[in-house]
Amino acid sequence: MESIDDRVRALVDKAGLDELVKKTEISGTRWRTVRYDKRTRISTQEVEALTLLYPSYALWLASGAIAPESGQTSPEYDEANRNLTDQHAG
Contacts of 68 (CB under 8 A, 6+ apart): 77
What is residue 86's predicted lDDT score, i.e. its pLDDT? 73
Q: The domain that contains 31 carries what CATH number?
A: 1.10.260.40
pLDDT computed for residue 84 by the predictor: 85
Q: Is residue 19 predicted with pLDDT exceeding 90?
A: yes
Residues 43-90: tens digit of each pLDDT: 999 999 999 999 999 999 999 999 999 999 999 999 999 988 776 655
What predicted TM-score, i.e. pTM, was given to this entire model? 0.88
For 74, counting Cβ atoms within 10 Å of its Cβ (0-12 exposed, 13-18 middle, 19+ buried), the class is buried
- As a whole number, mean pLDDT of residues 17-32 equals 98
* Amino acid in the structure at residue 67: A
Our count of domains for the chain comes to 1
- Please give the Cα distance from 90 to 62 (Å, whole number): 36
Residue 24: which domain range?
Answer: 4-89
The pLDDT of residue 85 is 75
